[in-house]
């Protein structure tokens, strides 16, 4: 087999050492630039603090896995790890300066510039290296020859990922499977082709024809996978296990460890730890701002409801909140009735129960405004799966697989389903299934920018008023 790897592949063992050296140069160089820019002299204290910063950063980087191979990792995750590792430097240095009362010996301006400039350069270097490696790998250099064990749906998805991401530098040699053609999965991807059985694959590994093997056997084949792993232990190839977990409808799955036992969460909330604080801060900040801006309109809406039709201004209804706990949702009353029993009838187009003012409020979502107070109390979030009436929850949890997983996060005033047009009446089961599917997508893919995008689309999106009546 022709050598497509070139010198970059042969020198891969030196890459980690080179990365460490480059980071040392970046840290020292940023310190020099900061002192030069502000015309501060480089003295003994500067040397001491720079060496201490290098020590702290080096330890944090090693603990955080910054120098592990990043071929299949994202540049976002790599730069995030670099930023986290560097953040420990100013924190520890500030603590040392405070405890030793030596702050006056260091230039505040130059030190601040160093603390800001260094992480920017660290990230810039990594982004630049990724760009260079992408170009090199797309040209066919620095390639790793890989094989997939098991002709399965996961194997087909993996083959497609290799093809659509040439910058990974992973060349699929073929798929190996011990089953006969009539018993194995039939893939549609042109490169997902069975070229032999597991014995052929092990032999290819021993002859140095493969660099990595991805085991994509189903979970039920654990015995066979163990036998093949034992055989591959007699080779030097890298072995990866493709976890066949999609059967379990993963929701924010992530690896963790209890003692020395690795575990993976299949259903988990993304809003834990600092991410939860970020989400709560977003709710408090934007929720307070919205209440300030809408307080006067809410007052006029309340007066209009009271004048236009008899009954209470607010409508209260029991719904499921976080972890399935029942909460009472507040809305401006838009109907002549306030049903909240075991048989709640959804509003339909031209529903005679809806008042003239109520129709306008529902169309513009102004009836939801009182819920911003519930955002401040923590019962709701600005963005999340919309809560349904208890009666509807009990109905759909029995017929839609994974329906209750919507409630591992706080319900929201608006959500990914709503801005994509899946709001209002769900007379057909397919409509509710689409709403639930979009809610699951939101939980799996949450980030702060996604929340801001949903808020923007709630106000300006073209689909926001579809099915709203």
Each residue's pLDDT tens digit, 373-397 = 999 999 999 999 999 888 888 888 8
Structure-block tokens of residue 172: 């699929």
Q: Provide CB contacts within 8 A for 403, sequence distance 6+.
A: 393, 396, 397, 436
Show the low-confidence residues of the chain (pLDDT under 70).
1-15, 244-262, 266, 337-351, 424-427, 462-469
Query: How high is the pLDDT of residue 154?
Result: 86
Taken in order of first residue, the domains within the chain and their CATH numbers are: 6-138 (no CATH), 144-244 (3.40.50.20), 274-460 (no CATH)
**Environment class of residue 7 by beta-carbon count within 10 Å: exposed (0-12), middle (13-18) or buried (19+)?**
exposed
Instruction: Give the integer Cα–Cα distance in Å for 175 and 150.
Output: 7
Q: Report pLDDT digits (tens) over 46-72.
A: 999 999 999 999 999 888 888 877 777
The pLDDT of residue 34: 92
User: H or E element: which one contains 238?
Assistant: strand 238-241
Phi and psi angles of residue 125, each rounded to the nearest 5 degrees, phi first: -60, -40
The pTM score is 0.58
């Amino acid at each position: 087999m022709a050598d497509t790897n070139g010198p970059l592949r042969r020198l891969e063992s030196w890459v980690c050492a080179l990365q460490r050296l480059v980071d040392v140069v970046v840290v020292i160089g940023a310190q020099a630039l900061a002192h030069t820019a502000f015309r501060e002299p480089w003295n003994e204290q500067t040397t001491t603090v720079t060496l201490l910063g290098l020590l702290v950063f080096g330890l944090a980087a090693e603990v955080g896995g910054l120098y592990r191979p990043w071929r299949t990792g994202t540049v976002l995750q790599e730069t995030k790890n670099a930023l986290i590792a560097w953040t420990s430097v100013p924190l520890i240095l500030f603590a040392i300066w405070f405890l030793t009362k030596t702050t006056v010996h260091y230039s505040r301006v130059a030190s601040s510039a160093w603390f800001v400039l260094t992480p920017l350069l660290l990230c810039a270097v990594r982004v630049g290296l990724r760009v260079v490696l992408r170009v090199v790998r797309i040209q066919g250099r620095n390639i790793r020859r890989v094989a997939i064990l098991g002709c399965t749906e996961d194997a087909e998805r993996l083959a497609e990922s290799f093809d659509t991401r040439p910058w990974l530098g992973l060349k699929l040699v073929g798929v190996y499977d011990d089953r006969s053609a009539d018993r194995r999965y039939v893939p549609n991807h042109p490169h997902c082709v069975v070229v032999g059985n597991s014995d052929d694959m092990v032999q290819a590994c021993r002859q140095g024809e493969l660099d990595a093997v991805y085991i994509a056997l189903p979970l039920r084949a654990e015995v066979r996978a163990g036998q093949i792993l034992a055989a591959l232990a007699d080779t030097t190839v890298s072995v990866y296990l493709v976890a066949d977990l999609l059967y379990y409808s993963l929701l924010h799955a992530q690896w963790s460890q209890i003692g020395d036992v690795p575990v993976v969460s299949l259903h988990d909330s993304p809003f834990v730890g600092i991410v939860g604080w970020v989400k709560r801060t977003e709710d408090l900040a934007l929720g307070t701002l919205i209440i300030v801006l809408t307080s006067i309109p809410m007052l006029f809406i309340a007066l209009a409801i009271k004048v236009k039709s008899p009954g209470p201004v607010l409508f209260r209804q029991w719904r499921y909140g976080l972890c399935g706990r029942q909460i009472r949702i507040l809305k401006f009353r838009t109907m002549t009735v306030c049903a909240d029993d075991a048989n709640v009838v959804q509003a339909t187009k031209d529903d005679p129960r809806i008042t003239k003012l109520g129709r306008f409020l529902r169309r513009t979502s102004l009836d939801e405004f009182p819920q911003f107070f519930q955002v401040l109390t923590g019962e709701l979030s600005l963005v999340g799966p919309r809560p349904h009436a208890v009666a509807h929850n009990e109905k759909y949890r029995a017929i839609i697989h994974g329906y209750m997983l919507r409630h591992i996060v706080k319900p929201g005033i608006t959500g990914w389903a709503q801005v994509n047009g899946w709001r209002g009446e769900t007379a057909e089961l397919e409509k509710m299934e689409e709403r639930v599917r979009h809610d699951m997508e939101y939980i799996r893919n949450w980030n702060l920018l996604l929340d801001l995008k949903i808020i923007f689309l709630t106000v300006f999106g073209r689909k926001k008023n579809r099915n709203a009546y």
